[in-house]
Amino acid sequence: QVTAKTAFLFILPQYNVSVPTADGELVQYHYGLKDLVTILFYIFIAIILHAVVQEYALDKINRRLHLSKVKHSKFNESGQLVAFHLTSVIWCLYVVVTEGYISNPRSLWENYPHVYLPYQVKFFYLCQLAYWLHALPELYFQKVRKEEIPRQLRCIALYLLHIAGAYLLNLTRLGLILLLLQYLAEFFFHMARLVYFTDENNEKLFNVWAVVFVVTRLFTLTLYILVIGFGLPRVESQALDPERGNFFSFLFNNILFRMSVLLLVCLFQASVMWRFIHFQLRRWREYWNEQSSRKRAAAGTKQQTKPLKRDSGYHENGVVKAENGTSPRTKKLKSP
């Protein structure tokens, strides 16, 4: 009995409460320090799953492809993220559909703060935090190159900041939709990288990723404007109340603060789109330079394979004559 209670502390989400509803009572959850124990347990689960995917899938493919060390590291990174993003997209889509966040967009800001969470929402956030925390020791286990460590640390820190911020500030509903859009674009990007490593002439999936990326950025910007600009300012409880989880909705009642936040969001999305456009232009430029170099090389090989006439004389009635009019064929001297 004692070990069972301890095991439940590691495996199951804590801080469950019974919330009265019209149909009876509904069990929901809020967050606390005991969540750290649950996250620690799922960090070890994520490390085990990471090793399983690496050993039984990625290593076998790498042996067949014979990639270089640089491509080998990038292939492993993209392979792990493809498995994670695909699982997260399916799971997140199931949660937002069953909870009605897509069919009813008003639920993203209605009754804010969303202190009490359904079981599947809280469990999803705990697993997300566990995965991105497990990525820190994986930098050592996977022997990531020193040049790649700052980029990956920055990526991990941004994900942890956004997921933990949505979880602790009771913006879990908005966070779910944003994660769904982000993971969808990332899935296509890393899938395109895997296809490119197997066949460097196949870049069609990068074009699909480009379209998905632009569409998800537009949806993300629209969602920010809808929730921050129109949703949160209409929340009934506008007073600062940390005990009830209302941390900053009163700030959005101030139009100056609201416009400043929207301006920062727009500038950030604009910077992301600028980097994306710059990346696409550089990729297209490299592609056309490569195509032009191939055409020049093909034209050069055709000129080299064309037969050359090296006759020293000229033709007359189909017979080759020497320059002085005599036959170019040497005469045989009769033996005396």
- pLDDT value for 334: 47
The confidence score (pLDDT) of residue 238 equals 59
Mean pLDDT of all residues in 129-149 = 90
Query: Pick the residue with more confidence: 135 or 332?
Result: 135
Q: Write down the pLDDT at residue 24.
A: 72
Q: State the DSSP string of 65-127.
A: HT--HHHHHHHHHHHHHHHHHHHHHHHHHHHHHHTTTTT-GGGGTTT-S--SB-HHHHHHHHH
Three-class secondary structure of residue 51 per DSSP: helix
Tokens read off for 110: 């209605």
The mean per-residue pLDDT over the stretch 295-323 comes to 58
Rounded distance, CA 51 to CA 236, Å? 48
Residue closest to 213 by CA, chosen among 184, 180, 178: 184
Rounded-to-integer distance, Cα 30 and Cα 45, Å: 23
Residue 336 has a pLDDT of 42
* Residue-level pLDDT at 250: 62
Write out pLDDT tens, residues 80-103: 999 999 999 999 999 999 999 988
pLDDT surpassing 90 at residue 227: no
Q: What average pLDDT does the segment 18-40 reach?
A: 86
160/263 Cα distance (integer angstroms): 23
Ranges of each domain in the chain: 1-296
Q: What is the pLDDT of residue 249?
A: 63
The pLDDT of residue 305 is: 61
CA dihedral 260, 160, 115, 36 (to 10 degrees): -150
> 24 or 106: whose pLDDT is higher?
106
pLDDT range class, residue 67, cuts 50, 70, 90: confident
Mean pLDDT to the nearest integer, 224-239: 77
Residue 323 has pLDDT above 50, yes or no: no
Q: What is the mean pLDDT of residues 163-191?
A: 93
Count the Cβ atoms, other than its own, within 10 Å of residue 100: 10
How far does CA 315 lie from the centroid of its chain?
Answer: 71
State residue 330's pLDDT score. 52
- pLDDT, mean of residues 123-135: 96
> Can you tell me the distance from the alpha carbon of 220 to that of 176, in angstroms, rounded to the nearest whole number?
12
Asked if 127 and 176 touch (Cβ cutoff 8 Å), the reply is no
| pLDDT per position as a tens digit, 249-302 | 666 677 787 788 888 888 988 898 998 888 888 878 887 887 788 788 877 776
State pLDDT tens for residues 180-218. 999 999 999 999 999 988 887 777 888 899 999 999 999
- pLDDT at residue 240 above 70? no
User: What's the rounded mean pLDDT across residues 122-136?
Assistant: 96
